[in-house]
Amino acid sequence: MPELGSLVSKVRSKNAGPFWLTVDVFCDDPATYARVRDGLKDATVAKLFGVEQQLLKRFDIPALNVVKFSVPRPVVQGTRADRDMHGAGWACLLEELQID
């Protein structure tokens, strides 16, 4: 199975304020979008980011060929345990995820 990052044009993660993290998966075309939408399971993504599944917000946006996830930040931005002030590194977890 290929890694998600090899199928899509970009995976971007960013803070959405200090308490939330948002991850956007940009697909180039509707076929890739449909594959990514169906291949990314909520439970898998929640586990990848270390959050409970019911806290995961998901937006499938066909107009943009984008699948977007938002989660409460696994650790709040800038706290002692935070390792990534801008939250950009979390994108790698999705990029390297193998999907059907």
Partner 1 sequence: MTRVLIPAGALGLGYDRAALERGVANRPDIIAIDGGSTDSGPSYLGRGVSKYSRASTKVEWRELMQARAKAGVPLVIGTAGTCGADAAVDWLFDITREIALEEGMQVKVATLKSGQPKERVKAALGEGRLHALPAAPDINEAIVDDCTNIVALAGVEQVAAALATGADIVIAGRTTDTAIIAALPVVRGDHAGAAWHGAKVGECGALATTQPNSGVIQIDFDASGFTIEPMAADAAATPYTVSAHMLYENSDPFILHEPGGHLDVTRSEYEALDGRRVRVEGSKWVPGGYTVKLEGARIVGYQTVGLAVVRERRYVEHVREWAADVEARVRDKIVARMGLAPDAFTVEIRLIGMDATLGALENRHDIPVEVGILGILTCPTAELAAEAGKILNPYLLHHPLTEDEPMPTFAFPFSPAEMQRGALYEFCLNHVMELDDPLAAFVLETHEVGHA
Residues forming contacts to partner 1 in the complex (CB under 8 A) are 14-20, 22, 24, 26, 48-50, 57, 59, 61, 63-64, 66, 68, 70, 72-74, 76-81, 83-86, 89-90, 92-93, 96
Residue placing its CB nearer to partner 1 in the complex, 2 or 89: 89
Query: Least CB distance from residue 100 to partner 1, whole Å?
Result: 18
Q: What is the DSSP letter of 74?
A: S
* Strand pairing class (66-72; 10-15): unpaired
State in angstroms the smallest separation of the CB of 68 from partner 1.
6
Residue of 31, 23, 24, 28 whose CA lies nearest to 8: 28
Please compute, for residue 80, the number of CA atoms within 13 A of its CA located in the half-sphere on the CB side: 0
